[in-house]
Chain A
Amino acid sequence: MRRTVLPVLTVLAAILVIWYAGAVWLNAAWAQDRATRAGVELSLVELVADTWAQDKPKLPAPHQVAAELWRTTVEQKVTSRRSLIHHSWVTLSATLLGFALGTVLGVALAIGIVYNRVMDMSVMPWVIASQTIPILAIAPMIIVVLNAVGISGLLPKAMISMYLSFFPVVVGMVKGLRSPGIMQLDQMTTWNASPAQMFWKLRLPSSMPYLFTSMKVAMAASLVGAIVGELPTGAVAGLGARLLAGSYYGQTIQIWSALFMAAALAACLVALIGAVQRVVLRRMGMA
Chain B
Amino acid sequence: MGAGTGQARAGHGTAPRADPAETVIAARDLDLTFETGDGQVHALKGITLDIRKGDFVSFIGPSGCGKTTFLRCIAALEQPTGGSLSVNGMTPDEARRARAYGYVFQAAGLYPWRTIGRNVSLPLEIMGFSRAEIAERVARVLDLVDLAGFEKKFPWQLSGGMQQRASIARALAFDADILLMDEPFGALDEIVRDHLNEQLLQLWARTDKTIGFVTHSIPEAVYMSTRIVVMSPRPGRITDVIDSPLPRDRPLDIRDTPEFLEVAHRVREGLRAGHAYDD
Contacts and interface: CB of A to CB of B under 8 A. Distances in A.
Contact of B109 (A184, A208, A286): A184
Interface in B109-150: 109, 111-115, 122-123, 125-127
Given A186-B105, A197-B126, A201-B125, A191 B113 contact: no
B122 A192 contact: no
Secondary structure class of chain A's binding surface, majority of residues: helix
A257 B113 CA distance: 44
Nearest to B153: A285
Interface stretch (B96-104, B217-225, B255-263): B96-104
Given A190-B101, A193-B126, A285 B112 contact: yes
A152 interface: no
Nearest to B114: A285
Interface residues of A, number: 18
Contacts of A188: 126
A186 B109 CA distance: 11
Nearest to A285: B154
Contacts of A286: 112-113
Most A CB atoms within 10 A — which of B77, B107, B113?
B113
Contacts, number: 49
A205 B77 contact: no
Contacts of B114: 285
Contact of B96 (A183, A192, A201): A192
B103 A187 contact: yes
A285 B115 contact: yes
Secondary structure class of chain B's binding surface, majority of residues: loop
A284 interface: yes
A186 B182 CA distance: 13
Interface string A188-213: 11111100010001100100100000
B75 interface: yes
A109 B113 CA distance: 25
A108 B174 CA distance: 34
Interface of A: 183-184, 186-193, 197, 201-202, 205, 208, 284-286
Please list the 9 inter-chain residue pairs (A to B) with the smallest Cβ-Cβ separation, ordered nearest first.
A284-B113, A285-B154, A190-B103, A191-B123, A193-B126, A191-B126, A205-B113, A192-B97, A197-B126
Interface of B: 75-77, 96-97, 99, 101-103, 105, 107, 109, 111-115, 122-123, 125-127, 154, 156, 174
Given A186-B103, A201-B125, A284-B113, 10 more contacts: A186-B105, A187-B103, A189-B96, A190-B77, A190-B96, A191-B127, A193-B126, A205-B111, A205-B113, A285-B156
